[in-house]
């Protein structure tokens, strides 16, 4: 047995304490456009776990969508927080993400004894005990489930955004800084859903904002 391999944690209740676990993860911290989405998932203690859970980035889109349906059906509690671009630009992406995590944990608090948060930082001001789990989306089923809900929900939002702004290709890159996206930014400038606090967007924001002001004169 490989003792260095990460162990899969109980996602429902600790074997010795019976604690109810809320897994928390986010999607969309790095993109240049769109919201950051945070999810929390609590499963029923003792219930047979959902097969096939994994880090959302390791799953194809169809598999994520199928699992997201099962997670919503089987979870004791789940919640998704969407933090918009205006909040991201006002607070910065770190604090916006922390706000989303607090919102999620507060929403599932009644069904939770402890929150396990993917990463190495626990937000301040939480209503319950919380633990930071590095690489939690590969170690804990509840965090995996939260990762899947956050990813599928955000992808759906970005596909809808593509319908309004097809010139950017949001349905393909979901707002990340791909060559296609950067080329579209250079050609069209940012749209209202781009994060102007991010340097690649800020570099193209001046001319686009000037064009808007001229159009209003």
Q: Global pTM?
A: 0.88
Can you give the pLDDT at residue 210? Answer: 43
Give 32-67 pLDDT, tens digit per residue: 999 999 999 999 877 778 999 999 999 999 999 999
User: Residue 41 corresponds to which tokens in the numbers above?
Assistant: 């998932």
Q: What are the structural domains, with CATH classification, of the chain? A: 21-163 (3.30.420.10), 167-216 (no CATH)
Sorted by sequence, the CB contacts under 8 Å of residue 119 that are 6+ apart come out as 132, 133, 134, 136
Write out pLDDT tens, residues 124-177.
999 999 999 999 999 999 999 999 999 999 999 999 999 999 999 999 999 999
- Report the C-alpha gap between 185 and 119 in whole angstroms: 31
- 118 assigned ligand-binding residue: yes
Q: What is the pLDDT of residue 84?
A: 98
pLDDT score at 17: 64
Q: Is 26 a known ligand-binding residue?
A: yes
What is the widest separation between alpha-carbon atoms in the chain? 71
pLDDT of residue 97: 98
Instruction: Render pLDDT for 108-126 as a digit per residue (tens, 0 to 9).
Output: 999 999 999 999 999 999 9
25 is in an annotated binding site: yes
Name the residue with tokens 């993860």.
25
């Amino acid at each position: 047995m490989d003792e260095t391999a990460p162990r899969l944690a109980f996602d429902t209740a600790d074997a010795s304490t019976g604690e109810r676990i809320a897994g928390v993860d986010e999607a969309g911290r790095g993109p240049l456009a769109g919201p950051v989405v945070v999810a929390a998932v609590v499963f029923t203690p003792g219930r047979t776990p959902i097969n096939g859970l994994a880090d959302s980035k390791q799953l194809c889109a169809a598999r994520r969508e199928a699992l997201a349906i099962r997670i919503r059906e089987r979870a004791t509690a789940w919640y998704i927080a969407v933090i918009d671009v205006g909040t991201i630009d006002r607070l910065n992406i770190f604090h916006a993400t922390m706000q989303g995590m607090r919102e999620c944990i507060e929403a599932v608090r009644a069904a939770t004894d402890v929150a396990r948060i993917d990463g190495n930082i626990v937000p301040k001001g939480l209503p319950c005990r919380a633990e930071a789990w590095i690489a939690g989306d590969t170690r804990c089923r509840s965090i995996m489930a939260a990762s899947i809900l956050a990813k599928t929900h955000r992808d759906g939002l970005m596909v809808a955004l593509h319908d309004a702004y097809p010139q950017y290709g949001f349905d393909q890159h979901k707002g990340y800084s791909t060559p296609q996206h950067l080329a579209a930014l250079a050609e069209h400038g940012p749209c209202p859903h781009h994060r102007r606090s991010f340097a690649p967007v800020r570099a193209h924001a001046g001319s686009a904002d000037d064009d808007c002001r001229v159009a209003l004169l």
